[in-house]
Structure 1
């Protein structure tokens, strides 16, 4: 079992534990660390015999684990490209969320959402749970094609309400409220979950590796793959659904209370609110489900159960 998964299994059993770990691991300053330093950090972790308890006792080892969590893929043990590491998710998605939420023309909305879904889908692909056949060209090609299709479809669905309103000149206050304020949140939530499910769909077909409590791989399970993808898709829906919904509610309260006297001041306040909500929801969504997921014996395929007497099985959920 990879060192990252051992840490998640030891210190990520509760939501609060996972939240605190992610809050530290999502520090953007970790992106400044060089590849050589990351490799030295991994060597320190791998040679440390107390990997399960040391992070709580030794600050240097804990910092090493945080750097490993934020930079190294637990399946391949390779260093993740800088743009797709977890600490880069907030700085890159924040301007995309702000631009996507402020568009009032269908074609501009389509373009901004296309860019938004392109990045989030690529992030999902890079940080997804690798399948046993992931080295095959056909699997990578399938994931890319499915990802492109999901991105295009999601951008069209997101821009469709604005296209409908502008085409038929529906300018009633109720229609404007629904299309511009209420509809984006569920649409972004659903389409974000959809892109996750599509780009990681090979995990349904090929399955993912499951391990026993000692970290030994005992088989490949499609049911574990389905569970991992569904959990990640749900967490992504909660992340962006809340990020697009809560700022609208808060800005409505700000305007009703007239806390900002100058109308020009609403734009920077809106940006600050979106940034605060996204920054708060990111560790929450990543922490909704264990990173080192557990699946019951009764939920696994018979061919796996025939080869072991273990009752606890674990897998990498991915991000």
Structure 2
């Protein structure tokens, strides 16, 4: 078992402990470290030596920058600490009340392209075979997911333009209410389709000693479903809180006198909610998940000492 997973097994089994760990791991200054520093940090974490306070930075580098299946360094823009600085402007722009369809499609395309890349880079890759057929299939899945999510995400603006909506209440419905469930559903869809291979081929499961015992489709489906739910919570909440906040504030005298205040309040609140929700969403489910003996394939049940097996959920 990878040193990162061994860490999550010993330290990340409660929600509060995971939340505390993720607040530390999402420090964007770790993005300034070189690949050589990250590889050395990963080796140090796997050396079995007891880490002191000076080694805390190495631990953070390994957990936030190294893929727990392959042991390779994650691409810079798809590391967890990069999610907030890169996705924040994309989320803000995608939730703006656009005047036409083209800018809505453009920002939705950027957002869902980055989300698909992040989901793919942080998947569970324990069962993958390097083959051209699989690579082509995965590329088509990602392209189809991004295309569908882009069009679906721009539907509120498409409806407003095509139907010529001028009614304020109906515009509020399309611009402020509909994007909330739509953002959650599309975030779930993005993860579920991009990582569908894990459900089809299975992922590596481990016994209580960290020894690989085989591939489980049930564990793969559970890992993908949990990650998709956490991402839906992230983007659904990020769309809900600012939109509902602006709707409430627009009823006050201050906002009725100064309508221009709505835009900065919306932008700032989107960035703040996204920043707070990223560690929460990452913490909803353990990085090293467990699956009960009765839920895995029959050939793996004998290895479930203690009644359960472990799997890497991905991110």
5+ residue gaps, structure 1: none
Q: In 2 relative to 1, CA 117–134 (structure 1 residues): closer, same or farther, beyond 3 Å?
A: farther
Q: How many residues align?
A: 313
Deviations 1:182-238 (A, max 9, x none): 001111110111011111111111000000111100010000000000000001111
The answer to whether the 8 Å contact 2:203/2:215 transfers is: yes
1:69-128 Cα distance to aligned partner (Å, 9 max, x none): 110000000000101100000111001011111124222211210110000001000100
Structure 2-normalised TM-score? Answer: 0.94
> What is the Cα-based RMSD across aligned positions, in Å?
1.6
Moved over 4 A (4+): 258-262, 306-310
Partner of 1:304: 300
Q: Distance in 2 between matches of 1:189 and 1:208?
A: 26
The more displaced of 260-269 and 3-12 is 260-269
| Counterpart for residue 288 of structure 1 | 284
Shift of 1:39: 1.6
Query: How far apart, in 2, do the equivalents of 1:147 and 1:37 lie?
Result: 31
Residue in 2 aligned with 1:48?
Answer: 48
Call closer, same or farther: CA 1:308–1:263 in 2, change over 3 Å.
Answer: closer
Match of 2:7 in 1: 7
More divergent stretch after superposition (61-70 vs 213-222): 61-70
Report the equivalent of 2:223: 228
Unmatched runs of 5 consecutive residues or more in structure 2 = none
1:141 matched to 2:136: yes
Following TM superposition, by how much is the alpha carbon of 1:259 offset from its aligned partner in structure 2, in angstroms?
Answer: 5.5
Match of 2:171? 176
Alignment partners' CA distance in 2, 1:159 and 1:251: 20
Aligned counterpart for 2:183 among listed residues 177, 182, 188: 188
C-alpha displacement of 1:143? 1.6
Equivalent residues in 2 for 1:22-37, closer than 5 Å: 22-37=22-37
Give the whole-Å Cα distance in 2 for the aligned partners of 1:308 and 1:163: 52
Q: Which residue of 1 aligns with 2:121?
A: 126
Please state if 1:62 is matched with 2:56: yes
Question: 2:305 & 2:283 partners in 1: Cα distance?
Answer: 30
- Asked if 1:268 is matched to 2:264, the reply is yes
Q: 1:219 aligns with which of 214, 217, 221?
A: 214
1:308 Cα deviation (Å)? Answer: 6.0
Instruction: State the match for 1:39 in structure 2.
Output: 39
Residues 147 and 199 of structure 1 are in contact (CA less than 8 Å); yes or no, is this contact kept in structure 2? Answer: yes
- The verdict on how the C-alpha distance between 1:308 and 1:228 changes in structure 2, with shifts beyond 3 A counting, is closer
Aligned equivalents of 2:220, 2:304: Cα separation in 1: 19
